């Protein structure tokens, strides 16, 4: 947790969660609500928010990518993140915008750390170097059982390389997201993603209102 001291002016929100948790729906709803309040909002995502990141995303998620080592995977997610922070997140925060990202550092801790069983501290230090220590002001964790989320995600499209991992992998991912949130309750909002989308959106608006006050 370095260089929060050179933290730019805007507000930084991240959405995290397993597959099929409804992050993109809730990011879009929050964006619409904040914009209606007169805020300038920059919604973004990982991996793949930049042109360079788009190439990295394709490599990472294409099921035809075979033989990628866990360490190489972790570094590619970190490379995407470094470019994302450099090109999108920091400039928008410096302009005073509200930046809402669909996934950030915690996804690497959960998927590469717990999922691939790379020591969490190694993943944290790679990510921290990639971001220059930048962390969200608030992370919204949309929590749901992986059985439910994977069924939702697989109903939409063919499974990408990470979705195609075992249920045990996704159970470790969920557990780690919950542990990260439990360790720092002031920086997290955990919501039950099996609830109705309206209810989830209301919970997010309440907490974001407090944060922006």
Interface residue list for ligand TMP (CB under 6 A):
19, 45-47, 61, 77, 103, 107-108, 111-112, 162-163
Longest CA–CA span in the chain (Å) reads 48
| Per-residue tokens: 130 | 């990639």
| CB of 107 vs ligand TMP, minimal distance in Å | 3
Smallest gap, in angstroms, from Cβ of residue 47 to ligand TMP?
5
**Dihedral of CA 26/142/194/202: which sign?**
negative
Q: How far is the CB of 127 from ligand TMP (least distance, A)?
A: 8
Choose between 42 and 45: whose C-beta lies nearer to ligand TMP.
Answer: 45
If the CB atoms of residues 28 and 61 are measured against ligand TMP, the closer one turns out to be 61
Q: Smallest distance, Å, CB 196 to ligand TMP?
A: 21
- Nearer CB in complex with ligand TMP: 34/150: 150
Q: State the DSSP string of 10-39.
A: SEEEEEEESTTS-HHHHHHHHHHHHHHTT-
Q: Minimum distance from CB of 175 to ligand TMP (Å)?
A: 15
In whole angstroms, give the CA distance from residue 127 to residue 145.
Answer: 26
User: Whose structure tokens read 């750390």?
Assistant: 113
Measured from the CB atom, the residue of 140 and 162 that comes closer to ligand TMP is: 162
DSSP for 103-124, written as a single string:
S-HHHIIIIIIIITT--HHHHH
149 in Cβ contact with 200 (< 8 Å)? no
């Amino acid at each position: 947790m370095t260089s929060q001291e050179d933290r730019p002016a805007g507000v930084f929100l991240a959405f995290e969660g397993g597959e099929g948790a409804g992050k993109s729906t809730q990011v879009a709803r929050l964006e619409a609500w904040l914009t209606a309040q007169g805020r300038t909002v920059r919604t973004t995502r990982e991996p793949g928010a930049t042109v360079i990141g788009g190439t990295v995303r394709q490599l990472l998620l294409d099921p035809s990518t075979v033989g990628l080592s866990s360490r190489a995977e972790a570094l590619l997610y970190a490379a995407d993140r470094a470019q994302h922070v450099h090109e999108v997140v920091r400039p928008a925060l410096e302009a005073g915008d509200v930046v809402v990202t669909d996934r950030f550092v915690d996804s690497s801790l959960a998927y590469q750390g717990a999922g691939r069983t790379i020591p969490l501290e190694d993943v944290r230090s790679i990510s921290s170097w990639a971001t220059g220590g930048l962390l969200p002001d608030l992370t919204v964790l949309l929590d749901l059982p992986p059985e439910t989320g994977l069924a939702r995600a697989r109903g939409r499209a063919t499974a990408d390389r990470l979705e195609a991992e075992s249920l045990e992998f996704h159970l470790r991912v969920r557990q780690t997201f919950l542990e990260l949130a439990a360790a720092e309750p002031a920086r997290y909002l955990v919501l039950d993603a099996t609830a109705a989308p309206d209810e989830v959106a209301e919970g997010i608006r309440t907490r974001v209102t407090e944060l922006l006050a």
